[in-house]
Each structure stands twice: as C-alpha cells, then as structure tokens.
Structure 1
Amino acid sequence: MISTLGRLLQDEHPNHPQALLDRARRPSRWMGSLACTLEDFFTHCGLALPADHTGRLAAGHRRRRIEAAPPPLRPQVRTFAGSLLRARERALRAGALPRTDTTIDAALAIVRDLAIFFSDQRGKQDWALADVHDVEAFLAMRPKARQRRLIVLRQSFRFARSRKVLLADPTRGVQAKGPSGFRGTTVAVGQQRELFRRWTTAIDARPHEALLGILALLHAASSREVRLLRVDDIEPADRTVRLGKRPHPVPLDPASWSGLQRCVAYRENQRTDNPHVVVTRITKTGRAPAATAYISHGLDPCGIPPRTLRCTRLADLVNVLDPKLVAAALGMEPKGVMIYLADHVDRTRLPDTLTEKNP
C-alpha cells in the first residue's frame, strides 16, 4: 500500500487528497484496501469527501440493465430508470422514504426481462403493441414472483402511458393471484435447538457466526442491525444493546450476552480502532462496518441464511403476541409484520374446551 501510494504521489496527475482518493479507487466491486484507508483518513481529517463507491457501482448496475434491453425497446427503459431516480431525489428533498439502489436495480431488471421477452418470445419491437396477454404470459414464467413483478410492471406502464408511449395500460385488470402473506422458509424447533447448542457450546463456531445466529434467532435482528452494531451501543451495566432503529434498548439473555462478549474479545485481540463490534481483516484498519456480503454469508457453515432465522422468529412473535406491539418493539411498520400473521388457528394453542365440559 505504501509503495502504491508513493507511485500515485510521484506521477504527473494532481495529488491533492480528493484526486488522490479518486485515483486510488479500484473500478471493481471493492474499492481496494488503499482507497478504503485513504478515505477513512481523509474524511476523518476533513481533507476530502467520501468517494461514493457504492453509488458508482449502483450506476454501473443500472447502465448494464438498460443496455441489456433490445435496442428498439431500450429508450423507454432508460427513461423509466431516469424517472425512478428523479422520484428518489424528490423523496429525499421531502424527507420521505426514498427507494434504495437495490430496489431500483431490481425494478430495472424486471423491465429488462420484459423487454427481452417481448422481443424474443412475442416478436414485438414496440411498447405500444403490448397487451394483457403478453403481460400474463410474462408473469406466468415465474409464478412465485408474480406479485412483485406485477407491481413494477404497473409502475412502468403507467409511466409509459403518461408519456404517450402507449394508449392503454395492459396491466389494468391483471390480478396478483395468490396470498400476499409470508410464504418463505422457517426453521423447525428441533433444528433451532441444534443451532442454539452449536452457537453456545461448540468450539468450532466462530464468534461472528454465533453472534449473528443468536441475535437473529432470539431477537429477530436483521443482518443490517448486526452489521452496524457499535461498541458504544452496548450497555454492560444493564446488559442491553441498541439495535438499529428500535426505540428501546434490547435486554440480552445470558446466551446472547455471552456471544456478544466473545465478539468484543475477538475485536480487542485485533487491536483495532474500528467502532463496530463485527470487525473483519479488511475493516480492522479503518472505521467502516463489515461488508454486506460478509454478513450475508456469516451463517454458511450452518447452511441457513440469517434472513430465514429472522423470519422464523418474526413468525413466532407475531402469531403469539400482538402484531402491533411486535412492530413497535422492533422499530418496524405494522404492515411489515402483518404478513407473518397466519391465516389459520393452531389447535394445539387453544384450551381443550371439550375436556373441561366432559371431565
């Protein structure tokens, strides 16, 4: 890193902090160790602005989605992408909840797939020729993603109709068949016990794996909450932590507290100034949180993603407690937890009234 920095300082290009940071950044998905270190140092000292590497990667993703559409249908996809970005800017100015780069990228991927389907499968090179039969055939290709795809298609065709690209909206009258509730995978009780024993007693479970698994399984913690957890969010006197946007500190049981202390001890052994609890080999020299991919693959030794464990806990809490109370405790919107509410009654949780009548 020092030799690379020396070459950057001695070449013919400007070597002020902002230009140096931009030239040290790699064009790949990861900006590189040198760029990360320089960004932390320059921004901490007030010498440069962040490189916005995430924004540049998102722009590249959007550009590839647009260019993958067939040429006759590509201009409308590009215009729709611009409308999504303008809507996000308006939401930011208004203080509303804007679309994330991931949401915009997923929407453009759906419109790109529709454009390719129109061109290859239906032989249509103009959006004005789209009809309801084309939309139904496209949605039938992936029945499980029907509802999400239909939402994006309605947005796209509504925007196209406002710009006089087509006269009639082909998605009008198309229904999102199937229930709108949670249809994901959950973990059985027996497997939950095995995972709990692994994270509390097994010596081969790494500290980060144990913390991520226990917090997701017992406290419905998301990967983002664990990833952004900082040392100053821990209150040793009360044995509580602040997770994400939850309104109150979360009290930890002995198993969760023990797993947290293992991560804190692991962090101290790395002799780092990074304020986050989860510190990796790459982030220990800076102040940035661990990469999203690192957290997403943190439970690969168990074969279960963190999202599945969190959904398991949410489904159990919502069906046992009041969903509104669960949403308030976790800092979520009520409609975000209502999808986990079952549409049937578990007879094993009801009192046996027949036994009481006929003792």
Structure 2
Amino acid sequence: MRRHEGLGLCSACWQKHPGRPFLRGEHLHDRLTDPPEWLAAFVAHVAARHCVSRACGFITDLGRLLEDEHSNSPRALLERSRRPGRSMGSFARSLEDFFTLRGLALPTDQAERLAAGRRQRRLDAVPEPLQQSVVAFDASRMRAQDRARRAGTRPRSDHTLETALATMRDLALFLVTHRGKDDWALVDVHDIEAFLATLPKARKRRLIVLRQFFRFARAQHIVLIDPTRTLTAKEPNNFRGRTLTLDERRKLFRRWTTDERVHPHEALVGTLALLHGASSLEVRLLQIADVDHQAQAVRLGKRPHRIPLDPASWMTLQRCLAHRDGWRTDNPHVMVTKGTKAGRSPASTAYLSHVLDDCGFPPRMIRSTRLVDLVTTMDPKLVAAAFGMDPQATMIYLGDHVEEGRLPASETSRK
C-alpha cells in the first residue's frame, strides 16, 4: 500500500487524519498572492464542525472562489458560493455561518427566495383567465408586508401569504372546473357558498381570505359587488379541539420520565407541553443561554418570566443537553439535529411536527390539554399574563362545548 510521505500513513488513514484540513489550508494560503486574514479561522471553523473529507472539500471550493477574477469580499464570496435552486448548498451555509458569526457579512436572503418560489408556484397553478387579478392581489399584500416591516408593526408572515394564495388558487380552479366561470365579475354568493362547502372545517379561515381579495377586487374595479359581503363564518369562537384524558396523561408522563428508550427530544417536547403548556415553537427556539442551571428554570418564547422546572421536566432537559453534547456542536439551541449540528439555525419545523409521532399524540393536543386545565381552574387573565398571550386568546378555552362521545348515554339522549 502506498504510504503518505510525510507521516508514514496509508491512504485510508491519511484520508481520516484530522490535520488534513489545516494542511490544505496552509497550501491554499501559500498559493494565494493576497490571502484573506480570516482564512485560517475559516479552516478551523469547518474542521471543528465537519468530517475531514467534507472540511477539505469546503477549503477546495473556497480556493476556487478566491483564485477567480471576481471580488474576494465576504459578501461577494457568499453570493457566488450559492447554488441555484431551492437549496443554497452546504458550502454556502458554512460560509454564511462563519461570516455572520464574525460580523463580516449579513445573512443571505435565502428564506425570502424560497418564500417567493412557493408563492410563484401557487400563482402558476391559477387558471390563466383569473390569474392576473390574483397576481395583483399578491403584489398588494407584499407591499403591505414591506410597509409594516419599515413601520415596525407586525407584518404578515410568509406562511400567511402563501396560505392565502393557496385559497385563491383553489377557488379559481373550483370556478373554472365546477362552475364554468372564467371571470371574477361573474362570481356570485352562490359560487362562494359552494366553494366553502367543500371544506366545512376551513370555512372561517377561507372566508377571511376571500373577503380580503374581493375588497381588493372591488377597489380595483375588477368586480362591482362583493359576493362575500353577506356571508358569515357560522362558527362559534370557542375551543373545539381534542384533549387528553387523565389516564392518557399519566401514561405519557411515565413514558417520558421512566423509559430510557424514548428519544430525548420527544421527552423534552412532550414534558414541557404536558406540564408547562409549551408550544413546539417555544421549545424549538430554546437556547442554552435561556437555561438557568442554578435556579433550574428556563425562559420560553415571549413569556415575561422564567419558568421554574419541576424535577421531572429538569431531568428531561438534562437528557436533551447530554444528547446535544454528544454532537460536539456550537449550535446555541438546546435541540440539535444531524442537519443543524454544523450551523447555528434551530431544528426545522418539519422535525418538530413529527418528533412526537411515536407517542401517538400531536403536540397541539397535549398543549391544549394543559391550557384547558389552567383556564378552567384559574383566572384566564392570569394565565394569559403568565404565558405572554393576548387575554382574548385564553377566553376561547372557556367555551361550553363537550364532545358527544364523552357524555354519559343518558345526557346524550336528552340532548
């Protein structure tokens, strides 16, 4: 077998040697006529976060960019390293993490590009005769989002804009396919009612979007009469979701506190939701700096005060931190996955939506169970203040609605 001349290692051992990235960085430094000051720091950055072969590949890609005829400023390098398409590439993400961590460049607009692509795909699915008005509606909402950001108010999120476009796409397809109408001016209240009847549970959410669109269309003289003016949601504003029984809560608590085979992320998300009403977003954005080890408390989301943890919750948090230490990562978040250990971003929303699949209950049901218990046994305003919620948000859990299957047979028959 051929051995490496300097270290006397075989090829397989040399490929795994931890000094390879630093040696390749030194060769790149000697080859460049004007090497950047941050080159050695970048080599150490990728060597600490990636395997030897990937770190060497990143240094080779960086050398290719530094040796071309374009500018070598951090911003220019970051733009040229991005791949076309939905993913900017692992090399570009490593450069972005390195430059933003040291204040050498601002983050890229990758999230905005992905959101624009998702909106464009929804617009392209709208039938041609009705497409132009939906495009104008989307442009007006984008301008409103930009004005809200500049004014410092609460702009609509990208998810809200995409959901609205999905509703308009479905309405346009319904009008062309089932009602035989290819002009917004021909839409009447019966068409809207027929469309809302296709998904009765989404009636309120869809009707809000349709009202916004037809108000815009009437202001732009696309339609003369708003067909949604006389429609109502016909839905009580109270909590109608499912909650856990006492036996189900006990079973989940024993699972997350006694079963060592359960993944630490599942135990943390489930325990915080069951005992402290924590949402998936709050656990997803929980960082190491938010954990107070001396007081055994954490700061969750926008809650005004730190949350003291009981022994069971603190134990599951310690399990999650031990699991994080095994990744040897500099990611500041408590929940670190294989895809985020090399960067600084939180775990993806898709990962959090499936982290409780093994227990059989979604995070929203578990959190709603805790909120219902607190609101019905305490003052809703105190619950809202403790959770950092709007007071009206907790009042919906006081709605008098009981599932038919949970009532005794005699009471069900009397109803």
Same fold (TM > 0.5): yes
Q: Cα 1:24–1:209, aligned 2, differ >3 Å: closer, same or farther?
A: farther
| Partner residue of 1:285 out of 328, 342, 357 | 342
| Partner residue of 2:127 out of 55, 70, 74 | 70
Tell me by how many angstroms 1:211 deviates.
0.4
Tell me by how many angstroms 1:28 deviates.
5.3
Worse overlay, 243-252 or 186-195: 186-195
Aligned partners of 1:242 and 1:248 also within 8 Å:
yes
Q: 2: CA distance between counterparts of 1:241 and 1:81?
A: 40
Tell me by how many angstroms 1:268 deviates.
1.9
Where does residue 351 of structure 1 map in the other structure? none
Where does residue 10 of structure 1 map in the other structure? 64
Q: 1: CA distance between counterparts of 2:126 and 2:354?
A: 31
Where does residue 82 of structure 1 map in the other structure? 139
Where does residue 389 of structure 2 map in the other structure? 332
Q: 1: CA distance between counterparts of 2:159 and 2:60?
A: 37
Q: 2: CA distance between counterparts of 1:299 and 1:204?
A: 14
Tell me by how many angstroms 1:52 deviates.
2.3
| Partner residue of 2:353 out of 283, 286, 296 | 296
Asked which structure has the greater RCO (Cα within 8 Å, sep 6+), the reply is 1
**CA displacement, residues 259-312 of structure 1 (integer Å, 9 cap, x when unaligned):** 111111222222222211111122222222222222221112112221221122
Tell me by how many angstroms 1:218 deviates.
0.9
Tell me by how many angstroms 1:32 deviates.
3.5
Q: Work out whether 1:247 is the aligned partner of 2:301.
A: no
| Partner residue of 1:24 out of 61, 77, 81 | 81
| Partner residue of 2:111 out of 30, 51, 54 | 54
Q: Cα 1:13–1:56, aligned 2, differ >3 Å: closer, same or farther?
A: farther
Tell me by how many angstroms 1:192 deviates.
1.4
Q: 2: CA distance between counterparts of 1:21 and 1:68?
A: 33
1:119-158 correspondence to structure 2 within 5 Å: 119-158=176-215
Aligned partners of 2:75 and 2:105 also within 8 Å:
yes
Tell me by how many angstroms 1:39 deviates.
0.9
Aligned partners of 1:221 and 1:310 also within 8 Å:
yes
User: Aligned with 1:270: secondary structure?
Assistant: coil
Aligned partners of 2:99 and 2:105 also within 8 Å:
yes
Larger Rg: 2
Where does residue 102 of structure 1 map in the other structure? 159
Worse overlay, 186-195 or 18-27: 18-27
**1:227 counterpart letter in structure 2:** R
Q: 2: CA distance between counterparts of 1:234 and 1:111?
A: 44
Q: 1: CA distance between counterparts of 2:219 and 2:59?
A: 52
Q: Cα 1:78–1:8, aligned 2, differ >3 Å: closer, same or farther?
A: farther
**2:228 counterpart letter in structure 1:** T
Provide the aligned length of Structure 1 versus Structure 2: 346
Where does residue 267 of structure 1 map in the other structure? 324
- Give the 4+ runs in structure 1 shifted more than 6 A: none
**CA displacement, residues 147-188 of structure 1 (integer Å, 9 cap, x when unaligned):** 110011000000100111011000011111122222222222
Q: 2: CA distance between counterparts of 1:161 and 1:267?
A: 55
Q: 1: CA distance between counterparts of 2:301 and 2:291?
A: 12
Tell me by how many angstroms 1:22 deviates.
3.0
Tell me by how many angstroms 1:4 deviates.
5.1
Aligned partners of 1:33 and 1:282 also within 8 Å:
no
Using structure 1 for the length normalisation, give the TM-score: 0.91
Identity of aligned residues (%): 60
**CA displacement, residues 109-156 of structure 1 (integer Å, 9 cap, x when unaligned):** 001111111111111111011100000000000000001100110000
Tell me by how many angstroms 1:13 deviates.
6.8
Q: CA RMSD of the aligned region, Å?
A: 1.9
Gaps of 5+ in 2: 1-53, 403-415
Gaps of 5+ in 1: 346-359
Q: Cα 1:165–1:26, aligned 2, differ >3 Å: closer, same or farther?
A: same
